[in-house]
Amino acid sequence: MADTTTDLGAYVKRFTRASVLVVGDAMLDRYVYGEVERVSPEAPVPILTVMREVAMPGGAGNVVRNLIALDASAAFVSVVGDDQAGSDLTALIGGQERVEPWLLVQGGRTTTLKTRYIAQGQHLIRADREQTIPLPEKLTERLIRIALDAVAATSITLLSDYRKGVLSDAVATQIIAGAKSLGRRVVVDPKGRDYSRYRGADVVTPNRRELAEATGLSVDTEAAIVAAGQVLLARHEFGAVLVTRAEDGMSLITADEVRHYPGEAKDVFDVSGAGDTVVATLAAALAVDVPLFEAARLANIAGGIVVGKVGTAVARPADLLAAITPATGALRKVVTAAAAAEAAERWRARGYKVGFTNGCFDLLHPGHVHLLEQCRAMCDRLIVGINSDASVSRLKGPTRPAQGEAARAAVLASLASVDLVCLFEEDTPLDLLKLIKPDLLIKGADYTRETVVGAAEVESWGGTVALAELLPGHSTTATLARLRG
């Protein structure tokens, strides 16, 4: 019998060859984070003291973002307005690697903008600006022409419908017909009651509520979900219906078989964008000839990963591989920079103070242990950045490090005082600091605030810098000298 786990890991590594056309409604998601400490004297509403703002592609743009995170390539066809949100969104999409953007501009149109105000991990309010009227005839014809050209240049077509006006009946039906004529499969993330415009799609991915809306049937049980899915199959000649069921997992329904995939998330923290992750992973897998049932399994795992993260998150190949073949023991603490940043965001949202320290940590000695225990006492969660082997050699000379980066990371991860370990290739941890944005940056007392790399940056986002006392007589140089001598 084949090793399914090994097969799934091999499939994930194929994603670099995936080429996906995404057509749908682009949006701009803006997050405003701050703190609430008092109520306004003008009205019974909280006053949000803004600490930082983040903008990212939303809607079909988030599907593209997920594809890029999976190491796939994407062509993106959509429409934005001639406004600031449209300009910001175009820059965000165009700034991503492996994306060929075709964002058409409609004069006078309002680009969909969703602004979320968040304090102490809680959403206070969401403010939307949007225009959902259909596109003008000439713009529709141009969009269809560009999309059909892109169909031929990509491996699979994905329609991401948020009912904001881009995927009209004519657009959807003509793109699906064009894709089928070229032998390209079509995946659709649908919206609305009428799925006839998606007729002939290979896979549609409604959630449970959308399935009920499209069929008018109950979806309270697995059997009811299967019955409703089979109605959609027969009614619109779909190849498969993949029903997402939030924390309950997913159900894949074809004419010949039904499979239920249990929920993969250990903790459901935020479901924002999980559907985009699922459909992106499914399309990327199908684009590189992963069998449908295994592609759905990978999509289910990816969905479980992102609901355990904060905000509109993505799943990366490293996340999928870790979920498929999880590291055991201390090695689970050794993570990528992106994973460390997401963990820090999740911890902050739960009210934890996130600390960061860094070093080469070549031959761990009592001085290191003493420093790390002090660091952990100053915060709720401690992330340790360590220089890669190449970085250590540049800083310390060709005879260093005495231990390789994998060994150094594993030893650090084994300490109870350390919550995560993250390698960085640069000579300093500045880029890693900017990504993680710790609340507290800690170095040894042989530094001053002025000589700590990243001190100004940490303070710029409201963090602090602390110096920990050293254990006299203990240093890596002294330890190496004793060992060699």
Would you name the residues annotated as active-site residues? Answer: 276
Stretch (H or E) spanning 435: helix 430-436
CB neighbours of 320 closer than 8 A, spacing ≥ 6?
8, 12, 281, 298, 301, 302, 305
231 residue type, one letter: V
**Which two three-digit tokens encode residue 378?**
């100053």
CA 365 to mean position of chain CA atoms = 37
Residue with tokens 């001053």: 448
**Max Cα-Cα span within the chain:** 82
Output the DSSP codes for 56-69: EEEEHHHHHHHHHH
Q: What torsion do the CA atoms of 167, 172, 174, 180 make, to the nearest 10 degrees?
A: 140
Give 13's contacts (C-beta < 8 A, 6+ positions apart). Answer: 317
Beta strands in 161-314 (DSSP E): 185-189, 203-204, 240-244, 250-254, 258-261
Residue 33 pairs in a beta bridge with 52, 118
Peptide bond into 326 cis (omega under 30): no
CA neighbor of 204 nearest in space, from 269, 272, 155, 252 = 252
Q: Distance between CA atoms of 408 and 391, rounded to whole angstroms? A: 13
Cα separation of 149 and 75, whole Å? 11
CB of 154 within 8 A of CB of 187?
Answer: no
Find out whether 181 and 200 touch, Cβ atoms under 8 Å. Answer: no
Helices (H), 127-236: 137-153, 169-181, 208-215, 222-236
